[in-house]
Amino acid sequence: MFSFLPFVSFFFFFLLVFGSIISISSFHWLFVWVGLEVNLMGFIPVLVYSGKRLMAESGVKYFLVQALGSSLFAGGSCIVFGNLSGLDLAYGWVDFSLLNGVELVGFFLLLMSLFMKLGCFPFYSWVPSVCVGCSWFSCFFLLTWQKLAPFFVLFSVSGFYGSMVFWIVGILGGLSSFVGGVGGMGETCIRCLLGYSSVGHSGWMVYSGMLGFSTFFCYYSVYFVVSICLFCVLGILGSKGMGHFNSFFKDKEFVMGLGFMSVLLSLGGVPPMLGFFGKMIVIFNGMLVSNFLFISLLIFGSLLSLYYYLVLFFGVFFSSKSLVLSYKDFYSLGNNGSLGLYVGVFIVSLIVVINLFGVVFCFFVF
C-alpha cells in the first residue's frame, strides 16, 4: 500500500490546489462551492495519509466542520442570490439596505459558513484540535493554503459591507486575534500553539481584507513566507518536535534553535523582523479610516500572542546545551556530520536571513 503513496499524495495534492484555484477564479457561486468541495476532498487524504489514529481523528473533525460550513455556504448563497434571480458573482454587488428579512438570514448564514471554514471567532475551537494530529506538512497547508479560497470568497461579497456589517466583521476579526492570544497562553503543545497562532493571524487577515485586497495580499504573503520558514525548521527537527516544549533542542541544536527563535520573533511581529512588516501595513491603513476599536483589539491580541512566543523563545534560549557549545563540539560536528547536516545549516541560515532582512526587501517590492 505504501509503495503507491507518493503518487496518490501527488494526485490529491493536485486536487487540493486545483480546487482553490477554481474557487478563486470563478464568476458563479455554484463553481465557487464546487471548488471548495474539490479542495476539501483533496486535502482529507493528505491529512490522514499515514493512517495513524490521531491523524484519522483530525481528518474526521476537519471533514465534519468543513462539511457543515459547505452546507451553510450552499444554503446561504442560494437564499440570497437565488432571490436575486441569479447566482453570478455580479449579483453580489447590491445594496445591503435593499435586502429583505429572508435574504438577511441567508447572508449571515453565508458569513457564518466562511468564518467556520477559516477557523475564526466564534468557530475557532476546531483549529487547535485538528492541528494536534497533523503532520508538519499537513499542518502547514491547513494553516496557510486552506485559508486562501475562503478569504477570497469572503472579500468577494464585500459589496454588502454597509456600516453594520463592516462593524460585525471587524469585531469578529478583532476577537479572533484576542482569542488566539488568550487560548495559546496555557498551551504546552507546539501544534496547539500554532493553531491558536493561526486563529490570531486570521483575525488580522480578515481586517486587512476589509481595508483592501492589496493590504490583505501583503499580510498574507508575509505570513505565508514566515510559515514556510517555521515548518522548514520543524520538519528538520522531525520527531523531536512532535510533543511539548521540553522535547525541543536537547543536544547540540544550536543552529536549529537560532532559526526557530528568529521565526518566533517574526511571528510575534517584533521589529525589525519580517512579520512586523505585515502588521505595520495593516495598522497604517487602518489608521487612515479611523477604526481605532478594531486596531486596538488586533494589537491587544497580538501582544497576548507575543507572550507565549517569548515564553517559547526564552525556553529555547536558556535550554541546556542549546547555545553553549565548545570548540570541541563544533569540531566533532564538522568531522562526523554528513551532507544533510550542511544542508540543514544552510536552510536554517537562509531562514534567519529572510526573517531579519526580509522587511527591507518588502519595502522595495510593496
What are 254-294's pLDDT values in tens digits? Answer: 666 777 888 888 898 888 888 888 898 899 888 887 678 88
In one-letter notation, the amino acid at residue 254 is F
Kind and range of the H or E run holding 75: helix 53-83
Q: Where does the pLDDT of residue 313 fall: very low under 50, low under 70, confident under 90, or very high at 90 and above?
A: confident
Prior bond of 45 cis (ω within 30°)? no
pLDDT tens string 167-192: 888 889 999 999 999 998 878 788 88
In this predicted structure, the answer to whether residue 93 has a pLDDT above a threshold of 70 is no
b/e per residue 130-141 (b: at least 16 CB within 10 A): bbbbbbbbbbbb
Q: What contacts 245, CB < 8 A, 6 or more positions away?
A: 188, 190, 312, 315
Q: How confident is the model at residue 334 (pLDDT cuts 50, 70, 90)?
A: very low
Tell me how far apart the alpha carbons of residues 127 and 193 are, in angstroms, rounded to a whole number.
10
| Residue 223 in grid coordinates | 505570513
Q: Is the pLDDT of residue 250 over 80?
A: no
Among 37-41, 82-86, 169-173, 238-242, top mean pLDDT goes to: 37-41
Omega within 30 of 0 (cis) for the link into 150 = no
Return the C-alpha cell found at 12.
490529491
Q: Span 120-139, mean pLDDT?
A: 90
With bands split at pLDDT 50, 70 and 90, how would you rate the model's confidence at 5? very low
Residue at 281: amino acid letter: I
Tell me the C-alpha distance between 246 and 258, whole Å. 16
pLDDT band at 212 (very low <50, low <70, confident <90, very high): confident
The helix/strand/coil state of 86 is: coil
